[in-house]
Chains A and B, each alone.
Chain A
Amino acid sequence: MTALLAQAASTAGDAGVGEAVVFWILGPVALAAAIAMVLARNAVHSALFLVLTMLSLAVFYLMQQAPFLGFVQIIVYTGAVMMLFLFVLMLVGRDSSDSVVEVLRGQRVAAVLLGLAFALLLVAGVGRAAFAIPSAGLGVAASNGNLPGIGRLVFTDYLLPFELTSALLITAALGAIVLAFAQKKPKAKLGQRATVIARLRGEHARVSPLPGPGVYATANSVAVPALLPDGSIARESLSEIIEGHEVDEHPRPPADAHALTDGRRAEPESAGTEARTTGAATGGEEERA
């Protein structure tokens, strides 16, 4: 690790002090965020620490004269991939923390062993790259500027891997779409016109929508039933949920749908007081029914 840092610092030597300063500030930040990502209990916090690590890496790329790579790192990984992660994590729910129970037996031991092996592999590989292979330097690799250099390499020497990767990605995306839609029923979704026609054919319970609640000028309660054109009560206008609730407040006069009509009940005083009561959910249609 120190050898790696020293190597980075020595390559930073010709670029100036600024790069070394940035490295020694952001290097620990990136490392600490990576460790915190593993240790954080909350999944969203974990994701945020990963974002911090990625941003630090992006700044490293910028400092190493690879501006394209740096900003693409921010746009693609931080902006799109991690945002998708967050999207899913938020859907899972904010209170779902990691459980400490080991679900798979021996998982932790295996994880530690594999992690160590992977670290060893990386150190060996990167160490070899750092010491055994002479570096060509930016003057050769990006003589024409960073952007044209990458463009030329991607579309000449690395064309086949590039295209293969894109084909793989497209296949994966298509596969995900197919898998996601395979769970749905193969029934075609009805359009607006088709729904209307189905209603008129009598395939629905009724042609029209259910009547709305009878909220009149005399009562602002949704428990007041609506009146049909002939003055009778429309039972379908009452919500089953409201009807099912027990109301244990002090008894109020029942909401009267006929308060404004010259109907059977003529009590303008009580209707006036009803207008200001809310939630008179005592189902006023029983005694009239």
Chain B
Amino acid sequence: MNPAIDPVDGMTRTQQLLADDPLWLVVLKVVVLFAVGVVLTLFMINWERKVVARMQQRPGPNRVGPNGWLQSLADGLKLAFKEDIMPVLADKKVYFIAPVISTIPAFLAFSVIPFGGEVSIFGERTVLQLVDLPVGVLVVLACSSIGVYGIVLGGWASGSPYSLLGALRSAAQVISYEIALGLSVVAVVLYARSMSTADIVAAQGSGWYFYLLIPSFVVFVVAMVGETNRAPFDLPEAESELVGGFHTEYTSLKFALFFLAEYVNMVTVSAMATTLFLGGGRWPWPLSSFNDNGWLMFVAFLIKTLIFLFVFIWLRGTLPRFRYDQFMKLGWKVLVPVSLGWILVIFAIRAYRNSTGGESTAALLITIGIVILAILAVAFLLPDRGTPDQEVEVASDYPVPPLDLKVPSAPKRRRPVERRQPAGALTGKEEE
């Protein structure tokens, strides 16, 4: 089925290379993966603060280190030396273990990401990936579903109502958005004919999936923001409603672990989106010759991941937080049905193509039937708009404006010329 597969032992080239890795190389990869996670987190925090600051027209951190780029490192060190508070009402063991549960899966998910192509490290041919499981995509989903336990348990064990509410929101949020996330991956798996991340990247040689599978891509991007508890879906830690949400009671290193987990998760889902939809480390057309070099592919992978991370920051700087019911409605009534319908369409297309070149009438009829069913399903899902009743007789004597009031457009005001200040003293903005 897969052309790259070796007939002898049924392994792809990537799997063979990884199986030949000596122990020191595996250890090296693990250490580098961990370092990449931590460094990207430190970078990401700083980058986020700087970008959001630029969007809000203020300088942002600019004191510690060159141009302020060491600010998050300093903050991290400061966090480690802060007093560690154990709340009186806390469930001690669970409270202690929750940040750990939250952090470890975040790093674990890194192991299946194909960061680049085939390279040679100290004379050893290998690929920039720790493991290539036949179910690599599921590993990332599993890690994200375990990581939520940290948030939920941390919120529960804190013994504070705000934390508990944050934990409850987080549990509901992750369950509902994981469904959308999983469904959007299904289309990719169907097209790539494999769940292995390396195979999916290889299958995108003929075209990246973000334009071949646009609905899946959109659903994945929306769901991944929901899955990582980031704005505008950061309801578990909505500071205007829940103080700090699930980590209200956490201090010092435990809080730092939660922080680390959130940012590593962001990097993981961004890397996953890159792998699934942006062709992993593949360079686009004019630079296709770069694809022969594994290290250059790593550069491409990094650039694409940073683009996704920038979108995360952009969203946070732009959008207000969703209300909880709107958020759930979006997940269950928009993302999930759209994903299901899209999968149905893909099934139909594939069934039509597989049926002896599409000449068999039975297959055609089945295909058309599926399409009509899909359209019917969508038509049923659309709510019928009620006709608004126009006539309203006002019963109360409370002074109200007429209901059919049209606000007239404001007449153009002429600026009083004589009050205008001499040029240079004031800008036009301040004058208004």
Contact = CB atoms under 8 A, between A and B. Distances in A.
A61 to B, nearest CB: 11
A68 B395 contact: no
B18 interface: no
A230 B153 CA distance: 55
A193 B392 CA distance: 12
Nearest to B143: A74
A75 B134 contact: no
B30 interface: no
A156 to B, nearest CB: 15
Interface stretch (B66-74, B117-125, B164-172): B164-172
Nearest to B189: A147
A215 interface: no
A114 to B, nearest CB: 31
Given A78-B146, A79-B142, A197-B392, A207 B398 contact: yes
Given A74-B142, A90-B167, A79 B148 contact: yes
A255 interface: no
Nearest to A147: B134
B145 A78 contact: yes
Contacts, number: 106
B133 interface: yes
Contacts of B135: 67-68, 71, 146-147
Given A201-B392, A201-B395, A94 B142 contact: no
Interface stretch (A81-89, A102-110, A165-173): A81-89
B275 to A, nearest CB: 17
Interface in A55-95: 55, 67-68, 71-72, 74-75, 78-80, 83-84, 86-87, 90-91, 94
B94 interface: yes
Interface string A196-224: 01001110001110000000000000000
Contacts of A146: 134-135
A222 to B, nearest CB: 20
A75 B185 CA distance: 14
Nearest to A93: B164
B138 A90 contact: no
Q: Which of B148, B389, B398 has the most CB of A within 10 A?
A: B398
B364 interface: no
B287 interface: no
Contacts of A80: 145, 175, 178
A280 interface: no
A33 to B, nearest CB: 14
A200 B133 CA distance: 64
B399 to A, nearest CB: 9
Contact of A83 (B91, B141, B152, B392): B152
A74 B133 CA distance: 15
Contact of A75 (B94, B138, B153, B388): B138
A200 B393 CA distance: 8
B10 A145 contact: yes
A44 B139 CA distance: 26
B168 A90 contact: yes
Contacts of A71: 135, 138-139, 141-142
Given A68-B135, A74-B145, A87 B394 contact: no
B94 A48 contact: yes
B142 A86 contact: no
B388 A193 contact: yes
Interface in B98-143: 133-135, 138-139, 141-142
A135 B170 CA distance: 45
A90 B395 contact: no
Given A51-B149, A83-B145, A87-B168, A147 B195 contact: yes
Nearest to A146: B134
Contacts of B168: 87, 90-91
B138 A68 contact: yes
Interface string A35-62: 0000000101100100100010000000
A72 B145 CA distance: 11
Contacts of A201: 392-396
B426 to A, nearest CB: 29
13 contacts: A67-B134, A68-B134, A74-B142, A78-B146, A83-B145, A83-B174, A94-B159, A146-B135, A147-B195, A197-B392, A201-B395, A207-B396, A207-B398
Interface of B: 1, 10, 91, 94, 133-135, 138-139, 141-142, 145-146, 148-149, 152-153, 156, 159, 164, 167-168, 171-172, 174-175, 178, 182, 195, 388-389, 392-396, 398, 400, 403
